[in-house]
Amino acid sequence: MEGHIIILFMILSAIPFVILYFIIKAAVRNGILEARRIENAPLSANPLDRIAQIPCPSCGKKHDMDYPKCPYCNHRR
Query: Given candidates 11, 59, 62, 69, which one binds Zn ion under the rule CB under 5 A?
Result: 59
Taking the least distance from each CB to Zn ion, the nearer of 54 and 72 is 72
C-beta of residue 44 within 8 angstroms of C-beta of residue 50 = yes
Query: Given candidates 31, 40, 52, 70, which one binds Zn ion under the rule CB under 5 A?
Result: 70
Concatenating the DSSP letter of every residue in 11-57 gives HHHHHHHHHHHHHHHHHHHHHHHHHHHHHHS-GGGSHHHHS-EEE-T
Could you say whether residue 54 binds Zn ion (CB under 5 A)? no
Instruction: Give the interface with Zn ion as residue ranges (CB under 5 A).
Output: 56, 58-59, 70, 72-73, 75
